[in-house]
């Protein structure tokens, strides 16, 4: 409440004293009015009205102060809680990066052994489309990539196009050794075309399991 001067509260007929009260805030008005009432400057009838006003003013002042404190606390607490949650999310994300298992390496080792076996000069391809183009002319080429599964595993793959003597062939090494849903196995597929490697029901392909890790435990 803003400060203002209130008109005379009451008049004492015998003494001629008037009661004035300066309103600064509710918590200051109530003691001031109580002092006037105690001084005898207000008749009993007027005093009862004034006392009721004092009680109502005290309740309103308390509610105003409680609301002010609540708003002040909310402005302080909400940003602090948001900061703590942000730090927790950041720590959780960093823990995932730290605890991520290393990529399987058996597929790469099998691919290197295949390079030595066929003894051809493989061109390194940056994309699968490059490998398809090389297969049209049967130019030896190699393409490596990591395939992410829907379960969250990462499958390293090594794909080659090479001259098998009388025909051009495509061979792929698929490292499922760290993938429970892939049988924890290292698979070698040989097909007549590059696209056939990615069609598991292709009849013009052969498949062999080079290695299987046991026990093959689920990740949960």
Verify that 110 and 93 share a domain, yes or no: no
Q: Do 84 and 24 lie in a common domain?
A: yes
Host domain of residue 64: 4-97
Q: Write down which residue in 97, 121, 144 finishes a domain.
A: 97
**81 and 151 fall within a common domain:** no
Q: Give pLDDT tens digits for 90-141.
A: 776 665 554 456 778 899 999 999 999 999 999 999 999 999 999 999 999 9
In a domain, 151, yes or no: yes
For residue 27, tell me if it sits in a domain. yes
Query: Distance (Å, rounded) from C-alpha 140 to C-alpha 130?
Result: 11
* Same domain, residue pair 112 and 30: no
Q: Which residues contact 135 (CB under 8 A, 6 or more apart)?
A: 141, 161, 168, 170, 193, 194
- How many Å apart are CA 46 and CA 49, to the nearest integer? 5
Mean pLDDT of 56-85: 59
**Residue 183 lies inside a defined structural domain of this protein:** yes
178 within 8 A of 201, measured Cβ to Cβ: no
Q: Let me know whether 204 and 115 are in one domain.
A: yes
> Among 56, 79, 97, which residue terminates a domain?
97
Residue 38 lies in a domain: yes
Residue 36 is assigned to a structural domain of this protein: yes
| Co-location of 9 and 89 in the same domain | yes
Is 117 a domain residue? yes
Instruction: Tokens for 71, please give them.
Output: 């708003």
- Residue 201 included in any domain: yes
**Residues 93 and 143 reside in one and the same domain:** no
In a domain, 220, yes or no: no
Domain boundary among 79, 97, 115: 97
**For residue 39, pLDDT beyond 60:** no
What lies within 8 Å, CB to CB, of 11 at 6+ separation is 17, 18
Partners of residue 161 on adjacent β-strands: 141, 170
Taking the CB of residue 58, how many other CB atoms lie within 10 A of it? 14
Given a cut of 50, whether residue 63 has pLDDT beyond it is no
User: Do 93 and 124 share a structural domain?
Assistant: no
115 & 201 share domain: yes
- pLDDT confidence of residue 203: 76
Q: Are residues 111 and 92 in the same domain?
A: no
Q: Count the domains in the chain.
A: 2
Statement to judge: residues 93 and 111 lie in one domain = no
Q: Is the pLDDT of residue 36 over 50?
A: no
183 in the same domain as 130? yes
Comparison of pLDDT for 201 and 134, the residue scoring more: 134
The rounded percent of the chain whose pLDDT value lies above 90 is: 42
């Amino acid at each position: 409440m803003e400060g203002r001067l209130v008109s005379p509260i009451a008049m004492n007929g015998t003494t001629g004293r008037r009661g004035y009260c300066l309103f600064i805030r509710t918590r200051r008005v109530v003691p001031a009015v109580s002092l006037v009432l105690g001084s005898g400057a207000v008749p009993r009838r007027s005093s009862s009205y004034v006392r009721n006003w004092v009680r109502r003013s005290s309740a309103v002042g308390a509610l105003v102060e409680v609301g002010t404190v609540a708003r002040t606390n909310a402005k302080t607490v909400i940003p602090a809680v948001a900061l703590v949650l942000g730090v927790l999310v950041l720590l959780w994300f960093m823990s995932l990066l730290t605890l991520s298992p290393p990529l399987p390496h058996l597929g790469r080792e099998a691919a290197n052994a295949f390079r030595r076996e066929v003894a051809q000069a493989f061109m390194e391809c940056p994309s699968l489309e490059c490998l398809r183009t090389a297969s049209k002319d049967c130019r030896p080429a190699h393409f490596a990539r990591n395939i992410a599964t829907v379960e969250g595993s990462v499958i390293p793959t090594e794909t080659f196009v090479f001259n098998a003597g009388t025909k051009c062939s495509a061979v792929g090494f698929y490292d499922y050794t760290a993938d429970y849903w892939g049988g924890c196995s290292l698979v070698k597929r040989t097909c007549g075309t590059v696209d056939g490697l990615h069609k598991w029901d292709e009849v013009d392909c052969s498949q062999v399991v080079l290695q299987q890790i046991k026990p093959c435990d689920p990740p949960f």
